[in-house]
Amino acid sequence: MVNERGRDGPQGGKGPVTIFGPDFPFPFDDWIAHPAGLGSIPAERHGEEVAVVGAGISGLVAAYELMKLGVKPVVYEASQMGGRLRSQAFEGAEGVVAELGGMRFPVSSTCFYHYVDMLGLQTRPFPNPLTEAAGSTVIDLEGVTHYAHTVYDLPPLFAQVADAWELALQEVRFADIQSAIRARDVGTLKSLWNDLVPRWDDRTFYDFVASSKAFSSLSFRHREVFGHVGFGTGGWDSDYPNSMLEIFRVVMTNCDQDQHLVVGGAEQVPRGLWRCCPSRLAYWPAGTSLASLHGGAPKAGVARIARDGDGRIAVTDAWGDTRGYAAVLATCQGWLLTTQIECEESLFSQKIWMALDRTRYMQSSKTFVMVDRPFWKDKDPRTGRDVMSMTLTDRLTRGTYLFEAGPGQPGVICLTYSWMSDALKMLPEPVDRRVRLALSALHKIYPDVDIASHIISDPITVSWEADRHFLGAFKGALPGHYRYNQRMYAHFMQDGLPPEQQGIFIAGDDVSWTPAWVEGAVQTSLNAVWGIMHHLGGRTHPDNPGPGDVFADLAPIALPD
């Protein structure tokens, strides 16, 4: 089956909206697709070991690209390969999975899809609320239930909310920014975006909604409904306290629309990179993969990182094995550098430590069950409607998603996907009780449907904040956090750093401008690849400059301290 992505096609001679900037508008997708490759390192450094802490997507993209340059990545993983792209199979049903981390990937994530397509993975539209892929949607707020296929089936208040959001965004020149992204017009994009950064860094998403002209002429109820149904995927009120800059980035780069799932599970992407034998690679013989370089498995988790006597960086794993490296890339969440890993303080400046430690994580919980068949497509004989639908509600479950695995296959229900306070309500509960709580909330919406009678196999649940290898689901920057993000993001440019701070790199969701979206983890990992290549004395091909080559011109705006 062909992947039919890219509904947001070119417009007016311009390209599609992609995650291009807005903070650092570098064409990462063109850089990785260019026939000249990412660059080269001096032959005498071929085979040199570089440590990569974490086998999530950012660690494995970096390891894969570094291997192609002739480096020997040594990957360490404390928990499961794939990190927050975790697809857990239901017992006895191979290929039928619960997506515990990332599950819906906007088509604007062009670097992520570069690797998805390279690995030959199949994708299809994600069953988001009010989309064709969902079929039908139920919105249940304050005990009133609406059944809809599109927004036009809902009462007029919902269309008013959608219109108000569009108008509110126009107050910050949303259309002009998207047009600059489509055209990859760096000058216009930077001038429009750099104007918003100092004005909105201090303000929350809720502030934006409440103070916009569009919403302030409407009722509180409109804001409340927006928080639950919102744009794209719904449930955005969990982000109301977040920095508005983060929400701008989501909507301006179309993160919240036209999303696909990876058939069989997103974890196939990091695992595929681990096994993939690139057709073109420096130094290593054909048939080399990350798996073959590691004898099949990554090294154990990292317990300590410190400068050794030779000026190299010593990495000690959980079993006490210490190796020295010219460069180390840390892709685990930043808080782990002060909790799980004993990291020598002088490796980072105090400004970077401040940024790492102030990083704010959002909580998230998901609970899945496998069911005998996609029974939700049965019709209610009284109404002719689907007996159950993709559901957004103000009840405990917040979002319920329905997945078909294919003809004759069992179905999967994500009974509840929630964030922040809704996720904390589930935190102390074991999986069976989480299922019962979710079923009880859904029973109030679907009193005639006996969901429990369809459940087969054991349920699966996750609370990322309860896992010591994560401590949270993803970053969600608060007002005033722009400077921290800017410091972490720019850290791969190390020429100006004192020698004792050079050689250790950071990448991943924490460093990204678009946390909670995998594309940012991939793009920051590509920055680190450039940084490590440069650190090892390498350079890019003149036809294909990399992020560090153009950083001085494109760098995210710095705000005064």
Ligand X SMILES: Cc1cc2nc3c(=O)[nH]c(=O)nc-3n(C[C@H](O)[C@H](O)[C@H](O)COP(=O)(O)OP(=O)(O)OC[C@H]3O[C@@H](n4cnc5c(N)ncnc54)[C@H](O)[C@@H]3O)c2cc1C
Binding site residues, ligand X, CB under 6 A = 53-59, 76-79, 83-85, 101-105, 301-302, 331-333, 336, 340-341, 364, 464, 469-470, 473-474, 508-509, 516-518, 521
In 342-476, at which residue ranges do the beta strands (DSSP E only) sit? Answer: 342-343, 361-362, 364-371, 390-393, 399-404, 411-419, 455-463, 474-475
Concatenated DSSP letters of 98-118: EE-S---EETT-HHHHHHHHH
Per residue, the 3-state secondary structure of 140-172, as one string, reads EECCEEEEECCHHHCCHHHHHHHHHHHHHHHCC
From residue 119, alpha-carbon distances to 153, 271, 497, 509, 520 in Å are 40, 10, 37, 22, 20
Task: Identify the three-state secondary structure at position 299.
Answer: strand
Which residues, 6+ apart, have CB-to-CB distance to 93 below 8 Å?
370, 410, 457
> Rounded to whole angstroms, how far apart are CA atoms 73 and 293?
8
State the minimum distance, in angstroms, from the CB of residue 105 to ligand X.
5
Nearer to ligand X, 56 or 70 (CB): 56
Nearer to ligand X, 98 or 516 (CB): 516
Nearer to ligand X, 136 or 331 (CB): 331
State the minimum distance, in angstroms, from the CB of residue 474 to ligand X.
5
> Rounded to whole angstroms, how far apart are CA atoms 90 and 69?
38
- Closest C-alpha among 497, 499, 522, 495 to residue 511: 522
Using omega within 30 degrees of 0 as the cis cutoff, is the peptide bond preceding 22 cis? yes
State the minimum distance, in angstroms, from the CB of residue 378 to ligand X.
28
- What is the chain's Cα-based Rg? 23
State the minimum distance, in angstroms, from the CB of residue 363 to ligand X.
9
Nearer to ligand X, 179 or 461 (CB): 461
Contact 238, 473 (CB under 8 A): no
State the minimum distance, in angstroms, from the CB of residue 302 to ligand X.
4
State the minimum distance, in angstroms, from the CB of residue 328 to ligand X.
11
State the minimum distance, in angstroms, from the CB of residue 308 to ligand X.
18
From residue 303, alpha-carbon distances to 341, 347, 554 in Å are 5, 15, 36
State the minimum distance, in angstroms, from the CB of residue 171 to ligand X.
27
State the minimum distance, in angstroms, from the CB of residue 64 to ligand X.
12
State the minimum distance, in angstroms, from the CB of residue 392 to ligand X.
16
Nearer to ligand X, 77 or 386 (CB): 77
Nearer to ligand X, 52 or 435 (CB): 52
- The half-sphere exposure of 545 on its side-chain side, counting CA atoms within 13 A, is 9
489's enclosing H/E stretch is: helix 482-490
> Rounded to whole angstroms, how far apart are CA atoms 236 and 240?
7
Nearer to ligand X, 59 or 230 (CB): 59
State the minimum distance, in angstroms, from the CB of residue 382 to ligand X.
35
State the minimum distance, in angstroms, from the CB of residue 418 to ligand X.
10
Nearer to ligand X, 200 or 474 (CB): 474
Tell me the longest C-alpha to C-alpha distance in the chain: 78
Which residues, 6+ apart, have CB-to-CB distance to 350 below 8 Å?
none
Nearer to ligand X, 105 or 530 (CB): 105
Q: Which two tokens stand for residue 92?
A: 């006895």
Would strands 361-362 and 87-90 be described as parallel, antiparallel, or unpaired?
unpaired
Nearer to ligand X, 71 or 302 (CB): 302
- Closest C-alpha among 139, 353, 133, 149 to residue 261: 133
Nearer to ligand X, 285 or 296 (CB): 296
438's enclosing H/E stretch is: helix 431-445
Contact 388, 341 (CB under 8 A): no
> Rounded to whole angstroms, how far apart are CA atoms 305 and 264?
36
Nearer to ligand X, 5 or 223 (CB): 5
Task: Identify the three-state secondary structure at position 43.
Answer: helix
State the minimum distance, in angstroms, from the CB of residue 141 to ligand X.
23
Nearer to ligand X, 415 or 516 (CB): 516
Task: Identify the three-state secondary structure at position 457.
Answer: strand
